[in-house]
Amino acid sequence: MESTILSMSLTILLFFGYGLGLNLSNGQESDAEERNLGEIITEIRSLLNQTIIEYQNKNSSGASALVEEAYLENYEFMEAPLAEQNETLMEQTEVMLREQLRDLVKSDSVEADLQALLQKINSNLDQADQLLTNQTETN
């Protein structure tokens, strides 16, 4: 019984700790807390640029890993502030990164399709950057 409770408690802690951006392996906050939103957007763009290079080099596993990093290690940390400004933009960009881009890379799609989606994502990131910059200037 105790092990079940302990197991459930650990699962809950890990679930909520991950959502808060905590690095539970060493008990410290992740570096995302120290980065500002503009730096996160810049990092996402860099990872997306690296993604297309890996894709062009026929390294779909490397491209997939970069997409995953762009989403999990970066975009997730800007979702909440972006949703406060424009929830639709946040959700659209999330789906493009988390699902559509990943699926295109994994299905070995035509590079033009990948480029077109990256252009849309970058356009959304431009909008997000403008919204979030305006938010921090008014605060």
Same domain (yes/no): 63, 13: no
Same domain (yes/no): 51, 13: no
d(CA 120, CA 126): 10
pLDDT classification of 113: cutoffs 50, 70, 90 = very high
Q: What is the pLDDT of residue 138?
A: 64
Query: What distances in angstroms separate CA 48 from CA 57, 62, 64, 89, 114, one per listed residue?
Result: 14, 12, 10, 18, 10
Range of the domain at 133: 35-138
Task: Give one word for 89, left, alpha or beta, with left for phi > 0 and alpha for psi -120 to 50.
Answer: alpha
Residue 10 above 50 pLDDT?
no
d(CA 29, CA 1): 32
pLDDT classification of 20: cutoffs 50, 70, 90 = very low
Same domain (yes/no): 119, 65: yes
Same domain (yes/no): 26, 45: no
C-alpha torsion 25→28→32→34, nearest 10:
-160
